[in-house]
Amino acid sequence: MISVHQPILQIVLPLMAAPICVILRNAFAGWLLALLVTGGAFVASLILLVHVVNEGPVSYAIGGWPPPWGIEYRVDGLSAFVLVTVAAIGFLSMIFARRSVEAEVAADRGYLFYTMYLLCFTGLMGIPVTGDAFNLFVFLEISSLSSYVLISLGTDRRALTAAFRYLIMGTLGATFYVLGIGLLYMVTGTLNIADLAARVPEMTHIRTVQMALAFLTVGLGLKLALFPLHLWLPNAYAFAPTVVTVFLAATATKVAVYALIRIAYTMFGGPTMFAVMPIDEVLVGFGLLSMIVGALAAVWQTNVKRLLAFSSISQIGYMVLGLGLADVTGLAGAVVHIFNHAMIKAILFMAVGCIIFRIGSADLRDIRGFAKPMPITAACVVVGGLSLVGAPLTLGFITKWLLLQGALDRNWWWVAVVIVAASLLALVYVWRLIAAAYLHPPSERVAAVREAPAPMLLALVALTVATVVIAIDGSLIGDFAVVTAKQLLGSGE
Amino acid sequence: MINISLLMIMVATALGLVWLRNLLAVVMFSGIFSLTAASLWVVLGAVDVAFTEASVGAGIATVLGLASLALTRTEHEKRTRVFHLPALIVVLVTGAALIYGTLDMPGWGDPDAPIHTHVAPRYIEDSLAETGVPNIVTSVLASYRGFDTLGETTVIFTAGVGVLVLLGRGRRYPVANPRVAAGGGPGRAPAAPGSEGAAVPGDSGEMRFKAILRVGGKLLIPPILLFAFYTQAHGELGPGGGFQAGVIFASAFILYALLFGVPMARAVAPASVLRGTLALGVLIYAGVGIAGVLLGGNYLDYSVLAHDPVHGQELGIILIELGVGITVASAMMTVFFVFAGQDPQQVD
Amino acid sequence: MDFPGLFNYWIVIALMMIGFYIVISQGNLVKKIFGLNIFQVSVFVFYISMGKVEGGTAPILAPGFATYTNPIPSVLILTAIVVGVATMAVGLALVVRIRDAFGSIEDDEIAKLEGDVT
Amino acid sequence: MVAVLLDGLSWLCLVAGVLAALIGGIGLLRLPDVFSRMHAAGLIDTLAAGLIIVGLVLQSPSWTVAVKLILIIVFILFTSPTATHALARAALHGRVLPWLGDRSSPSEGAPSSKA
């Protein structure tokens, strides 16, 4: 049914497309190539997801060397799920990209932009499927290095400093990650995640293993912008070119969350490890802080991009919270939220991209009344915003529901209170956005604009419709997440 | 004993870096640090890594550091925060955590440590029979963990393209001659009025100055190139391989550019050619993998490339090392040329 | 605990922490990048130290030798060195661009010019 | 007999090389300006390195190692003087003046830092 080589080909083809893009030296050809490759990867990842759900995990030995001697690609439900998320956003961002990139990136840099984009896509696609802890680092660095460059392409000069700070923080995070892997390697002698999973849970009493988990958590915490390691994120997202913001905000931090889940649960056996070292409670604490601090900061922003960036920090808090709850519903909440938040943030940033493309500003005061000339964009903002808050019948509601259940299952009612509080704060900042769209008469400048060009709008609407459709039958994704969470927790016992 | 002395030199160098304000010295100290680390690795038996660190950490990194100092026209840090309490606390906590983590580690050089008994023995015992390559580091790097190396080549490609994106456009203000910018910055005493002619060489003096360097340099370039090819070809038998060879190859061009100017070097290696070879290396590497798939093996399985698996492995390793070498050499040259001068083909 | 035992590792940890300290305490962007280099190289030293086998020779198979240094840390660190220099190249290129755009490579001065400090 | 003689000669070279390096090191620290320090550095570059390598050549187990070591000497003999020359010209070009006065009042051109 599927080619045995599929797991590797969907990583290698984007990788090969990047140098081809450099040779082509043409922005349009680069875009077309990126569109085709990401589209192909999206279709392939969907097929892979169906295959994995029906027939169990797939393993692929690169170079024909059996693991743990060679590098293994291992795709289970969770990795296929994250893969589909990244590929979907990557593909839709490319549909969206052409006009937006033309507007924001100099024409002679266009092909280099798409090269970088493909490299970043490759890196982010490589992380979920790899079954090797060090290979994960290599792909993490491919994606990070290309995102630094992509962010620096923003038109504001602050994009440069944002990229530089991200580079410093990201490299520190990667070095911490390498250090953690080194500690773990020292006492186990293996780098294969499945092989580690068989050994590490029996070694939880060894102090080296405990510190390895601590360093891996901090390293990935830097990459996923968990409070208080989040300082690089707001400016990076605010000043990057819009397409980059759409893609990175929707995928980069989510992939880091995936890596953290993979490490904490698959590699360290989750609850077995937490019993010795209460890193779950630490994660719950920082998750909650992230939720509140991010939301509070978002409330005060006037630039929509920055507002959404702070909202991202808050939403990452939800995922980390679910991860730290360490029970089936909590973890399922985190898994669903990886997908939810990717979709929601992609919608909102795409909508902002449309607004910037037409109005030329992302300041709340400049875009008042944009619902009148841009009704479709505004409707998408409403759907995305409501989902962000977690209103019933939206994707966000599924997450919040699972998380609340998870918190109550552990008898942490105060966690539930904080979740509700953060949602109310989300309502405040989303309301500011909706109010700006509908409750003000458009200024002359705003009234004169039209909807964004068709491809941009198409990507935006397609995403919005997809979230609505998926939310209508929320049990589909909810059940999938619960099954995945059970697998993750089961592997530790 | 020699370990401890080398480590102590490194500690001294690193501590010196904290206090130094002169950024040129910071760059040089960092190079010294890398070179000492490389010596330590030779002692510890990791010759391939030592080779790489010596050429990259002490070579390329230093050149890049000096070039960017010239471009930023800064020589001194404004002020040094030697004591920064929050940072100190973070560092002490992290260090304490690490030391706590080491308490259960096997001792230094213990042959019974898990890393020597679990996965590694197979490489040591079977790699020669399976790949036909005596240098285990090369066989693991290129074959067993060949996908990591593909990733590594991609990272270098990313850096090359990234620097092109950031600086390839040429600069918004004319750059002074880097040597003048670096040497004539603040902190140097101005020449006494009468000594102008004596201290600053005129045109003829400049030519003589360059003549000695150029003759010396010209003599060096062919051996350097030869050594690069030797390193490339000899990587299976001894330390070396595509990465080191690429860096050495690039360094010959960097030397040429320093002696005869970037435009002359550019004429030998034009931007468009470099851009092509930069991409070509990655394509060769990834293409060898695809060839493996087409011939019925797994991705990056070289055994199917020839009739005999060991022969196929050798062929595959030679090809991918070539890919690595090409990309690394082009990336290093691209990065240097972009740093060292405007890229005329980008400006128009 | 016999003498070399873990003592060497502790020196390496001290090295890492000096590098880490330079990155987070210094305001000069170039110095930050080179501090990062110190941090990374120290981590590499840590890895290579793990691979050391008492009495082992370089992992190049030759008749007459039975004990070899563990090759895996070498392989991993070769990759990591390349990643490190790639990051450094991009970082320094960013510093040059920042100098062009802000006229300074000091963190606090740039923050002032940026107007809004987060 | 020959072996003992070779060994002795090799050690003589090594010790002499180390001494030269030590003297050069002291000179680097103590001499007053760039140019005289460069002179001390040149001692390490050529004499010390050369003597040590000659000592090692005499110790080498096989002729391949010896040839490689001799190649290194040749390489150093080419590069070091060229590098020293470049450094001196760069210092002049950067308007660093040789130190001419007495120790109590260094001329303006003498660099203030050891770096």
Please give the pLDDT value at position A352.
92
Residues on chain B touching A142 (C-beta within 8 angstroms): 151, 154-155, 158
Q: Can you name the residues that pair with B76 across neighbouring β-strands?
A: B22
Please give the pLDDT value at position B108.
76
Greater pLDDT, D109 or D79: D79
Q: Are A36 and A28 in contact (CB under 8 A)?
A: no
pLDDT over threshold 50, residue D99: yes
Closest CB to A5 among B147, B148, B293: B293
Q: What is the pLDDT of residues B37-65, one digit of tens each?
A: 999 999 888 889 999 999 988 888 998 99
**Separation between Cα atoms, residue D51 and residue D47, nearest integer Å:** 6
**Separation between Cα atoms, residue C37 and residue A115, nearest integer Å:** 27
Chain B's closest residue to D107, CA to CA, is B189
Residues on chain A touching C47 (C-beta within 8 angstroms): 178, 182
Q: List the chains bordering chain D where 3 or more Cβ pairs fall under 8 Å.
A: B
Please give the pLDDT value at position C118.
43
Instruction: Using a CB–CB cutoff of 8 Å, tell me whether C49 touches chain B.
Output: yes
- CA–CA distances in Å: residue A282 to residues A215, A226, A263, A274, A295: 13, 12, 16, 10, 20
Q: Do B20 and D97 touch (CB under 8 A)?
A: no
Closest CB to B213 among D75, D85, D115: D85
Question: How far is B141 from chain D, CA to nearest CA, in Å?
Answer: 26
Average pLDDT on B149-178 reads 76
Give the domain range for residue A475: 278-493
Q: Are A64 and B297 in contact (CB under 8 A)?
A: yes
The neighbour count for residue A183, using CB atoms within 10 Å, is: 28
Question: A291 Cβ partners below 8 Å, 6+ apart?
Answer: A314, A315, A317, A318, A321, A418, A419, A422
Question: Does A328 reside within a domain?
Answer: yes
Please give the pLDDT value at position A465.
92
**Separation between Cα atoms, residue A8 and residue A202, nearest integer Å:** 32
Task: Tell me which residue of C59, A36, A115 sits closest to B127, measured CA to CA.
Answer: C59
> Maximum distance among all alpha carbons in chain D?
59
What would the two tokens of residue A388 be? 């962000």
Greater pLDDT, B38 or A3: B38
Residues on chain B touching A214 (C-beta within 8 angstroms): 97, 101
Residues on chain A touching B301 (C-beta within 8 angstroms): 63-64
**Which residues, numbered 30 to 49 in chain C, qualify as contacts with chain A under a Cβ-Cβ cut-off of 8 Å?**
32, 36, 39-40, 43, 46-47
Question: How far is C36 from chain B, CA to nearest CA, in Å?
Answer: 10
**Which residues, numbered 16 to 35 in chain B, qualify as contacts with chain C under a Cβ-Cβ cut-off of 8 Å?**
17-18, 23, 26-27, 30, 33-34
Please give the pLDDT value at position B105.
81
Q: Do C46 and A182 touch (CB under 8 A)?
A: yes
Angle subtended by helix axes C71-102 and B146-167, to nearest 10 = 10
Please give the pLDDT value at position A3.
76
Q: How confident is the model at residue A2 (pLDDT cuts 50, 70, 90)?
A: low
Residues on chain C touching B335 (C-beta within 8 angstroms): 89, 93
Instruction: Using a CB–CB cutoff of 8 Å, tell me whether A470 touches chain B.
Output: no
- Chain center to CA of D104: 28
- Mutation target vs B (from D78, D92, D96, D114; most B CBs, 10 A cutoff): D92
pLDDT over threshold 50, residue B181: no
What would the two tokens of residue A54 be? 């029906």
- CA–CA distances in Å: residue A37 to residues A114, A119, A492, B18, B284: 12, 12, 37, 47, 19
Q: What is the pLDDT of residues C81-111, one digit of tens each?
A: 999 999 999 999 999 889 888 888 888 888 8
Question: Does A62 reside within a domain?
Answer: no
Closest CB to B109 among C26, C30, C52: C52
Q: Do B45 and C27 touch (CB under 8 A)?
A: no
Question: Does A332 reside within a domain?
Answer: yes
Q: Do B136 and C62 touch (CB under 8 A)?
A: no
Q: Do B46 and C20 touch (CB under 8 A)?
A: no
pLDDT over threshold 80, residue B107: no
What would the two tokens of residue A49 be? 């997801």
Question: Does A115 reside within a domain?
Answer: no
Q: What is the pLDDT of residues A262-312, one digit of tens each?
A: 999 988 888 888 888 888 888 999 999 999 999 999 998 989 999 999 999
Please give the pLDDT value at position A246.
93
Most confident option among A441-445, B109-113, B139-143: B139-143
Question: How far is A327 from chain C, CA to nearest CA, in Å?
Answer: 35
In this structure, which amino acid lies at residue A112?
A: L
- Mutation target vs C (from B19, B98, B254; most C CBs, 10 A cutoff): B98
Answer yes or no: is the ipTM higher than 0.95: no
Question: How far is B188 from chain A, CA to nearest CA, in Å?
Answer: 30
Question: Does A37 reside within a domain?
Answer: no
Three-class SS of residue B343? coil
Question: How far is C63 from chain B, CA to nearest CA, in Å?
Answer: 10
Please give the pLDDT value at position B174.
39
Residues on chain A touching C39 (C-beta within 8 angstroms): 172, 175
What would the two tokens of residue B207 be? 């030519």
- The answer to whether chain D touches chain A by having 3 or more C-beta pairs less than 8 angstroms apart is no
Q: How confident is the model at residue B345 (pLDDT cuts 50, 70, 90)?
A: very low
Average pLDDT on A373-402 reads 88
**Separation between Cα atoms, residue C46 and residue A179, nearest integer Å:** 9
Question: Does A368 reside within a domain?
Answer: yes
Average pLDDT on C108-117 reads 75
Question: Does A136 reside within a domain?
Answer: no
Please report the domains of chain C, with CATH numbers, ordered by start residue.
Answer: 4-114 (1.10.287.3510)
Specify the range with the lowest mean pLDDT, choosing from A42-56, A235-249, B198-212: B198-212
Chain B's closest residue to D94, CA to CA, is B183
The neighbour count for residue B69, using CB atoms within 10 Å, is: 24
pLDDT over threshold 60, residue C40: yes
Q: pTM of the predicted model, to two decimals?
A: 0.91
**Annotated domain spans of chain D:** 8-93
Question: A106 Cβ partners below 8 Å, 6+ apart?
Answer: B169
- The answer to whether chain A touches chain B by having 3 or more C-beta pairs less than 8 angstroms apart is yes
Question: Does A383 reside within a domain?
Answer: yes
Q: How confident is the model at residue B179 (pLDDT cuts 50, 70, 90)?
A: very low
Please give the pLDDT value at position B185.
35
Chain B's closest residue to D77, CA to CA, is B216
The total of structural domains in chain A comes to: 1
Question: D93 Cβ partners below 8 Å, 6+ apart?
Answer: B179, B180, B183, B200, B201
pLDDT over threshold 60, residue C1: no
Residues on chain A touching B102 (C-beta within 8 angstroms): 208
Chain B's closest residue to D81, CA to CA, is B216
Closest CB to B213 among D82, D95, D97: D82
Task: Tell me which residue of A167, A268, A251, A266 sits closest to A215, measured CA to CA.
Answer: A268
